[in-house]
Protein backbone atom coordinates (compact mmCIF):
# COMPACT_ATOMS: atom_id res chain seq x y z
CA UNK A 1 0.00 0.00 0.00
CA UNK A 2 1.33 3.42 -0.97
CA UNK A 3 0.43 6.31 1.31
CA UNK A 4 0.69 10.08 1.28
CA UNK A 5 0.42 12.37 4.31
CA UNK A 6 -0.81 15.95 4.06
CA UNK A 7 0.33 18.05 7.03
CA UNK A 8 0.56 21.73 7.93
CA UNK A 9 2.34 21.76 11.25
CA UNK A 10 4.36 19.87 13.84
CA UNK A 11 3.46 16.42 12.57
CA UNK A 12 3.18 14.32 15.74
CA UNK A 13 0.59 12.04 14.10
CA UNK A 14 2.88 11.81 11.08
CA UNK A 15 5.71 10.68 13.36
CA UNK A 16 3.48 8.03 14.94
CA UNK A 17 2.63 6.74 11.45
CA UNK A 18 6.30 6.68 10.39
CA UNK A 19 7.21 4.80 13.59
CA UNK A 20 4.40 2.29 13.03
CA UNK A 21 5.59 1.62 9.47
CA UNK A 22 9.18 1.14 10.62
CA UNK A 23 8.01 -1.18 13.45
CA UNK A 24 5.92 -3.28 11.08
CA UNK A 25 2.59 -2.22 12.61
CA UNK A 26 1.47 -0.78 9.26
CA UNK A 27 2.04 -2.75 6.07
CA UNK A 28 2.79 -0.08 3.51
CA UNK A 29 5.13 2.63 2.32
CA UNK A 30 4.86 6.34 2.95
CA UNK A 31 5.63 7.73 -0.50
CA UNK A 32 5.41 11.46 0.14
CA UNK A 33 4.62 14.12 2.73
CA UNK A 34 3.01 17.26 1.30
CA UNK A 35 2.56 20.57 3.12
CA UNK A 36 1.05 23.96 2.41
CA UNK A 37 3.50 25.50 4.94
CA UNK A 38 7.14 25.86 3.92
CA UNK A 39 8.41 25.72 7.52
CA UNK A 40 6.16 22.88 8.70
CA UNK A 41 8.16 20.59 10.98
CA UNK A 42 6.32 17.68 9.36
CA UNK A 43 8.54 18.18 6.29
CA UNK A 44 11.65 17.91 8.46
CA UNK A 45 10.31 14.68 9.95
CA UNK A 46 9.93 13.29 6.43
CA UNK A 47 13.48 14.28 5.49
CA UNK A 48 14.89 12.63 8.62
CA UNK A 49 13.34 9.34 7.54
CA UNK A 50 14.33 9.69 3.87
CA UNK A 51 10.73 10.20 2.75
CA UNK A 52 10.03 12.58 -0.12
CA UNK A 53 8.80 15.95 1.15
CA UNK A 54 7.04 18.50 -0.99
CA UNK A 55 5.93 22.06 -0.25
CA UNK A 56 3.22 23.58 -2.42
CA UNK A 57 2.65 27.30 -1.96
CA UNK A 58 -1.11 27.93 -2.01
CA UNK A 59 -0.55 31.64 -2.70
CA UNK A 60 0.52 30.96 -6.29
CA UNK A 61 -2.95 29.64 -7.12
CA UNK A 62 -5.85 31.98 -7.75
CA UNK A 63 -8.51 29.49 -6.63
CA UNK A 64 -8.56 26.59 -4.18
CA UNK A 65 -9.32 23.98 -6.84
CA UNK A 66 -6.02 24.74 -8.61
CA UNK A 67 -4.03 24.03 -5.43
CA UNK A 68 -5.95 20.79 -4.96
CA UNK A 69 -5.33 19.75 -8.57
CA UNK A 70 -1.60 20.29 -8.07
CA UNK A 71 -1.69 17.98 -5.03
CA UNK A 72 -3.82 15.43 -6.93
CA UNK A 73 -1.25 15.36 -9.74
CA UNK A 74 1.57 14.69 -7.26
CA UNK A 75 -0.31 11.85 -5.60
CA UNK A 76 -1.42 10.28 -8.87
CA UNK A 77 2.16 10.27 -10.15
CA UNK A 78 3.09 8.21 -7.12
CA UNK A 79 0.05 5.91 -7.46
CA UNK A 80 -1.05 6.59 -3.88
CA UNK A 81 -3.65 4.21 -2.40
CA UNK A 82 -4.44 6.17 0.78
CA UNK A 83 -4.30 9.88 1.60
CA UNK A 84 -3.83 10.62 5.30
CA UNK A 85 -4.54 14.05 6.76
CA UNK A 86 -2.35 14.79 9.79
CA UNK A 87 -2.99 18.32 10.98
CA UNK A 88 -3.63 19.60 7.45
CA UNK A 89 -5.25 22.98 7.96
CA UNK A 90 -6.80 23.52 4.54
CA UNK A 91 -10.30 22.42 3.61
CA UNK A 92 -10.07 20.10 0.62
CA UNK A 93 -12.37 20.90 -2.28
CA UNK A 94 -14.95 18.51 -3.76
CA UNK A 95 -12.53 18.10 -6.68
CA UNK A 96 -9.98 16.50 -4.34
CA UNK A 97 -12.48 14.54 -2.25
CA UNK A 98 -14.18 13.01 -5.29
CA UNK A 99 -10.83 12.06 -6.82
CA UNK A 100 -9.92 9.98 -3.74
CA UNK A 101 -13.36 9.16 -2.33
CA UNK A 102 -13.11 6.37 0.24
CA UNK A 103 -9.34 6.75 0.29
CA UNK A 104 -8.86 9.84 2.46
CA UNK A 105 -8.57 9.53 6.24
CA UNK A 106 -8.72 12.29 8.80
CA UNK A 107 -8.44 12.36 12.58
CA UNK A 108 -10.40 14.79 14.74
CA UNK A 109 -9.93 15.54 18.47
CA UNK A 110 -13.51 14.86 19.58
CA UNK A 111 -16.13 12.14 19.47
CA UNK A 112 -17.85 13.13 16.26
CA UNK A 113 -20.50 14.27 15.54
CA UNK A 114 -19.87 16.32 18.70
CA UNK A 115 -17.61 19.37 18.37
CA UNK A 116 -16.70 19.32 14.66
CA UNK A 117 -14.55 21.91 12.93
CA UNK A 118 -11.79 23.94 14.52
CA UNK A 119 -11.03 23.90 18.24
CA UNK A 120 -12.73 20.60 19.10
CA UNK A 121 -10.83 20.41 22.40
CA UNK A 122 -11.78 23.96 23.40
CA UNK A 123 -15.39 23.28 22.48
CA UNK A 124 -15.49 20.19 24.70
CA UNK A 125 -14.02 22.07 27.67
CA UNK A 126 -16.39 25.00 27.23
CA UNK A 127 -19.40 22.69 27.01
CA UNK A 128 -18.39 20.96 30.22
CA UNK A 129 -18.43 17.34 28.98
CA UNK A 130 -16.97 14.68 31.27
CA UNK A 131 -15.73 12.51 28.40
CA UNK A 132 -14.33 13.44 25.00
CA UNK A 133 -11.94 11.61 22.69
CA UNK A 134 -10.92 11.32 19.07
CA UNK A 135 -12.36 10.02 15.83
CA UNK A 136 -10.73 8.61 12.71
CA UNK A 137 -13.05 8.99 9.75
CA UNK A 138 -13.14 8.92 5.99
CA UNK A 139 -13.35 12.35 4.43
CA UNK A 140 -16.41 13.44 2.49
CA UNK A 141 -17.46 16.86 1.20
CA UNK A 142 -18.80 17.99 4.59
CA UNK A 143 -16.93 19.30 7.63
CA UNK A 144 -15.97 16.25 9.75
CA UNK A 145 -19.06 14.42 8.52
CA UNK A 146 -17.57 11.35 6.77
CA UNK A 147 -18.05 7.72 7.85
CA UNK A 148 -16.52 6.99 11.26
CA UNK A 149 -13.80 4.32 11.21
CA UNK A 150 -12.67 4.22 14.85
CA UNK A 151 -13.30 6.22 18.02
CA UNK A 152 -11.82 6.17 21.50
CA UNK A 153 -12.61 8.08 24.67
CA UNK A 154 -10.56 10.36 26.89
CA UNK A 155 -11.79 11.53 30.32
CA UNK A 156 -12.04 15.25 31.01
CA UNK A 157 -10.75 16.32 34.43
CA UNK A 158 -11.82 19.38 36.41
CA UNK A 159 -8.22 20.63 36.35
CA UNK A 160 -7.82 20.26 32.58
CA UNK A 161 -6.65 23.07 30.38
CA UNK A 162 -6.81 22.99 26.60
CA UNK A 163 -3.14 22.00 26.58
CA UNK A 164 -3.38 19.11 29.08
CA UNK A 165 -6.51 17.68 27.47
CA UNK A 166 -5.06 18.02 23.99
CA UNK A 167 -1.92 16.19 25.10
CA UNK A 168 -3.92 13.21 26.41
CA UNK A 169 -6.06 13.11 23.28
CA UNK A 170 -2.90 13.19 21.12
CA UNK A 171 -1.52 10.06 22.76
CA UNK A 172 -4.76 8.21 21.96
CA UNK A 173 -4.81 9.63 18.42
CA UNK A 174 -1.43 8.12 17.62
CA UNK A 175 -2.59 4.61 18.50
CA UNK A 176 -6.02 4.96 16.90
CA UNK A 177 -4.74 6.36 13.58
CA UNK A 178 -2.17 3.58 13.28
CA UNK A 179 -4.90 0.98 13.83
CA UNK A 180 -7.24 2.52 11.25
CA UNK A 181 -4.50 2.72 8.60
CA UNK A 182 -3.53 -0.90 9.18
CA UNK A 183 -7.18 -2.01 8.85
CA UNK A 184 -7.30 -0.17 5.50
CA UNK A 185 -4.07 -1.79 4.34
CA UNK A 186 -5.53 -5.21 5.17
CA UNK A 187 -8.67 -4.53 3.12
CA UNK A 188 -10.85 -4.77 6.22
CA UNK A 189 -12.78 -1.51 5.78
CA UNK A 190 -15.85 -1.04 3.61
CA UNK A 191 -18.30 1.84 3.36
CA UNK A 192 -22.04 1.16 3.31
CA UNK A 193 -24.06 4.37 3.12
CA UNK A 194 -22.62 6.60 5.78
CA UNK A 195 -21.31 3.70 7.88
CA UNK A 196 -17.81 2.23 7.81
CA UNK A 197 -17.90 -1.53 8.36
CA UNK A 198 -14.87 -3.28 9.86
CA UNK A 199 -14.60 -6.77 8.38
CA UNK A 200 -12.52 -8.63 10.96
CA UNK A 201 -13.38 -12.10 9.65
Distance from C-alpha of 107 to C-alpha of 130, rounded to nearest angstrom: 21
- Spatial separation of the C-alpha atoms in residues 130 and 79, rounded to whole Å: 43
Element (H, E) at 149: strand 148-155
Active-site annotation holds for 108: yes
Q: What is the dihedral of CA 71, 72, 78, 80, to 10 degrees?
A: 110
Task: Label each residue of 35-97 as H, E or C.
Answer: ECCCCCHHHHHHHHCCCEEEECCHHHCCCHHHHHHHHHHHHHHCCCCEEEECCCCCCCCHHHH
Residue 1 CA to residue 30 CA, distance in Å, equals 9
Choose the catalytic residue: 49, 50, 54, 108: 108
| Residues with catalytic function | 108
Amino acid sequence: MKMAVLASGYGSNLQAIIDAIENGEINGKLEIVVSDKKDAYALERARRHHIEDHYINPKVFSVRDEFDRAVIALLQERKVDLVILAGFMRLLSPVFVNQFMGKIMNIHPSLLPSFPGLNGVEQALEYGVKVTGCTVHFLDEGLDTGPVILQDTVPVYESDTVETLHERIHSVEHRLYTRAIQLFSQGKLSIEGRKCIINEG
